Structures are given as C-alpha cells and as structure tokens.
A and B are shown apart, each in its own frame.
Chain A
Amino acid sequence: MARLDPLIHAPARLQVLTTLSAVSEAEFATLRAALEVSDSVLSKHVSALADAGYVRSRKGVQAGRRTTWIGLTSVGREALREHVAALRRLIDMVD
C-alpha cells in the first residue's frame, strides 16, 4: 500500500519532483522559474532530494554558460507515484 514519504511531504519538495516528472532533465534556472523560488531555496531542496537518490544533478553548459541540469531518478519517480497515491487516498477518505 502506498505511504506518505516524509522526505517529500514538504509541499516544496513535492513540487520539485512533480515538475521534474514533465521532463527528462531541466536546467536549474528553468526549474527555479517554474517553481517561482529563489536559487538558495531550490538548491537546498535539490541537495536533500539528491542525497536521498530521488534526483540526479550534473554540471553542463547551456547557451555558453555553465549550469546544472537536474533530473528525476527512477527511485524518485516511484517515491513520487507512491506519495501522490497516498495523498489521493487521504482526499478520498475525507470526501
């Protein structure tokens, strides 16, 4: 049975994983713009998620400047699926 994941229970981290599920990889600045957060806030959440193996990051070049690319791992995708399923079950119980 799907369970709530404490690591992505914070809405900000759930948003990071959900947004990354729309792409294979996103540049740091693109992700920051979609989430409407500061560099430091996103960096903190990405680090926590990367430590858990939910996202991977790599250095690259975008339009001639160095940047960081971030992508969802298969572990992160499964964690997201289970967490969302658990949230939906909670909603169903309330309804």
Chain B
Amino acid sequence: MASPVAHAAHHAPTSFIRRYIFSLDHKVIGIQYYFLAVFSVFLGMVLSVLMRFHMVYPDAKVSLFEKLWPTGAPGGIMTPELYLSLMTMHGTIMVFFVLTTAPQSGFGNYFLPIQIGAEDMAFPVLNMMSFWTTFLALLVMVAAFFVSGGAPLAGWTAYPPLSAVGPLSGPGEGMGQTLWIISIAIFCGASLMGAINFIATLIDLRAQGMSLMRLPLTCWTWFVTAILGLLGFAVLLAAGVLLLLDRMAGTSFFLPAGLVVNDQILNHKGGSPLLWQHLFWFFGHPEVYIAILPGMGVASQLLSTFSRKPIFGYRAMVYAILGIGFLGFFVWGHHMFMSGMNPYSAFAFSVLTMSIGVPSAIKTFNWIGTLWGGRIQFTTAMLFALGFVSLFVTGGISGIFLGQPALDLYFHDTYFVVGHFHMIMGVAAIFGMFAGTFYWFPKATGKFMNETLGKIHFYLTFIGVYAIFTPMHFLGINGNPRRYADFTNFDFLGKLLPVHTFMTHAAIFTMVVQFIFLFNLFWSIKKGKPAPANPWNSTTLEWSIPSPPPFDNFAGKHPVVNHGPYEYSVPGAAKDYIMQTDPA
C-alpha cells in the first residue's frame, strides 16, 4: 500500500469558481473535458443525422430547417451548400472536440496522474489554461453557424483553393471559414499545452517503483498520443497560419495563378493546393492515432481486468504502441494518392502504410491472447472493450485496401472511405470512451452506472453502428461517390437508394439509443448504486484510493509501486489480483 510516510494533505479550494470552474485539479479538468466532448458528440451526431436525412429525403420540406437556416434551407428544403456545411462541421467537431478531446484530455487528465502515483499534473495552471483554450476554440467553431453565410463548406480537411478564396466560392466561405481556421489554431495551442503537461508528468512525476515497464498500458497510450499531438498540432498550426494569410493578406502559398472563381480571376499566383495537403496530412494521419491510441490503452486495461489474466505480451504491446506512433508520421501520403503523386512515392507510402499492419496485428493478437482461457466477466465496460476490438479489426482491414494506390484510385472518392474511417477512427474510439466511462465511473463518483441500461445501450449501439457503416463499403465498391448531397438524379445510383434509406434509419435508431447512455450517466451520478473503492478488483493505482479520490489523490502519502500493472491470477497468491502497491 502507500508509503507510511505522509505529510500534511493538501486541501481543496473552497470557492465554487476555483473548485469547479477555473479549477487546477486535474480530476475536475478531466471531467470538464469529458463533458465538453459529450456536448460536442451529441451536436456532431445530430448534424450527421440531418445529413443522412437529406440524402434520403432531399425534397422533404421541414419548417424547422427554414427556421434554423433561412438562407440554407429556403422553403424548408436543404440546399447542397447547407449539406456541405453540416458535413464540414460534423467532421470538425467530431475529430477535434470529441475524438481528440475525450480519450486523451478527458480520461488522460483524470487518470494519468493517479495511475503513475502523482498528486497532480506537472503544470496545473497550464492544464487549466489548456481546457479553457479548448472551450474557447469550441465557442469560435460553433459561432461559425451564426455568422453571415453560415458554417464553412470545405470539409474538416479544409482543402484550398475552396478554403482559401473567400466568400466568392460559397456562402460559408467568408466569415465561417475564417472562424474555422481561427478555432483550429486556438485548438492547436490548447493541444500543445496539454501535450507538454502529459509528457512532463509521465516522465518526471512517477511514484517510486513505477518504472516504465510497470506503467499501465493506458499511460503508455496517453504518453505516445501526447507526443503525436505535440508534433502534429505544431505543423497544423503552421499550415493554418499560411492558410489564414492566403485568405486575409493576399499571399499565395496555396493558391495557384489564373484561378477563376465564379467568373472572377483571382489575384494570386504560383502557390500550390498540394502544399496544404502535405502539411495537413502530416498532422492528419497522426491525428487518427491520437483518436484511437487511448482507446487501445483502455481496451488493454479492461480486457486484462475482466479476463482475470495478465495482458498477453506486455512488452510487445508497449513496442507496438511506440511502433504505431512512430510509423504514423511516415504515411501521410496515402491520403493523397488521388491528388497526383510520383508512383515511386506512392509505392513508398503504400509499403509504410502496410507496415502499420504489423504492430496493429500484434495488438489484436495479444488482445485475443489475453481473452484466451480467461474467466471473462461480461460487464458493460468489458462489452464495450470487446466492441472496440471488433470495430478496430473491421475498420483496420478495410484500411489495407485503401493503402494500395491502385485500389485507392477507385475507392478514394466513394463511401468505402467513409465506412473505413468511421469504423476505425470514429466508432472504435467512441467505444473506447464508453468502455472507459463504465469502468472508471465508480472511481470518479463512488457509484456504479446501471449495468442493465448499459448492456441494452451496448447491444443496440453495436448493432446500430454496424448497420450504418457496413453498407457503406458495398456502396463504395459500387462506385457511390461521397460528399454528394443528393443521389436521386443519378441513374446508376438509383438501385443503391434503398441501402441509403436503410443506413439513414439505422443512424436515427442509433442516435435515439444514445439517449439511454445520457440518461444512465446523469441518473447514475445522482442515484447510482454505491461502489466500493475497487469494485472490479483491478490492480492499478487509482483503485488503491477512495472513490471519489481525495483532492491530492493519495491524501498526502506517496505510493510505492512493487508490481506490474496486470498481475491477475498469479499462482499461489491469496487473491486473484495483486495491486501495484501491494508489498513485494
């Protein structure tokens, strides 16, 4: 257990503002990030259902649309421009304010310091600033809906020329696109602050005995994710500055000469839209791992705990995490096969992309190896962790197709890509968040979430997401283009419309199901069954302290770590788990 040597415990601040709003406590900041992401994910989800609705019922007159977007939906019928703005905002909000925010900044902030035995993050003030800067970025992003012309149209990747030429190119490309760039720049700053904290905390504030090879795999993934964020967001920030200058200051970094937009010749020359793509995807591909790596950590932690077995191949898992992080920086070109690329470069990017399959397969086999012969406890948290593995494999396999230039040329602008990245980056990561929520909720609140509601939510969501995203692969193989607002005017797509209708209904169904989770979350905060300090018989440090944890985590004591993170079912041991702080 914790070292007997203690000093005076730190007391929590008493004023409401210091305690809950501008808090320096990493746990409160983690919860703030979590709820920012919960708000964002519901907003993003509603946007996606509006898009799916429009694709299937493009002529439907909905008076609410007209009230919300008088110019975007005149007479209640959504314009293609409005559809594109919904698509842009859905992607942006989901990627930045959900997938980057909750798994890393939310769960990581709350649990990384506790899991390594620290009182707090290394720089609590920076931590607080990082959250409030993220909040500001979200406000600026959402403000894009309300400015003249509305939200931008250029997608979450903001490819120039469309994103760089201003209001000439579409209604959202004026102030809306400018706010988009500013919001992303602010977000980059926030992420850099967060990354500095995560890295310094993990390197320097580990408890005695917490060697690198005793770190829970969650900590490894948060650490590598922080490094990816650090290097990636710095480049995105630079790209954003260049894009903003092209828009506002008349420079020509990304805009070529002789560009004619709406019959008007633009006064730019010599720039290249491809330059943006290189800079963007140098960030963009690591961003995929920023979203998914923490989910891998959570899945590893939960599969071990609920199989009552040590994680299979701990060191291999660590090296696989490092390998995925490292290789993630050398594959950005596979997003650009269609943009025109020397075939030799494409070949190199393709081989490097395929090579990520090796550490990914190591992780998958080790997860299965962990489950093999285990005494599996099908808690809701475990079900979501299993769901994560399933979605990761499904989404990963379609990635092998897309990583080959010859196939990508066909698939690139089709729904195959939409299916692929939603499976692996979207819902797999979100399943990681659900798993983490059910697993750590008792620690953060001292109460359980309702398991029956949780299981209903899991099974319906699992069926729902497969029903939405599996058909997209078939649509893609049939040549169904992505980013189109309406398919009804194309003969060759006519036979696919019933599939779209099915997916839209599945999306509405899955959205409704999410309210079960939301209800469960808030209901359990108030009325959940009381949970003991270590309800899952887990081994890591957060389970050695009361629930909810004291303000300074270990109540003034310094834990000493004597064991690895996953010592379950050790032969000869009194219990089927040995906590990291148990005597050697």
Q: Are the chains A and B members of one assembly?
A: no
A binding-site residues for B, Cβ under 8 Å: none
B binding-site residues for A, Cβ under 8 Å: none
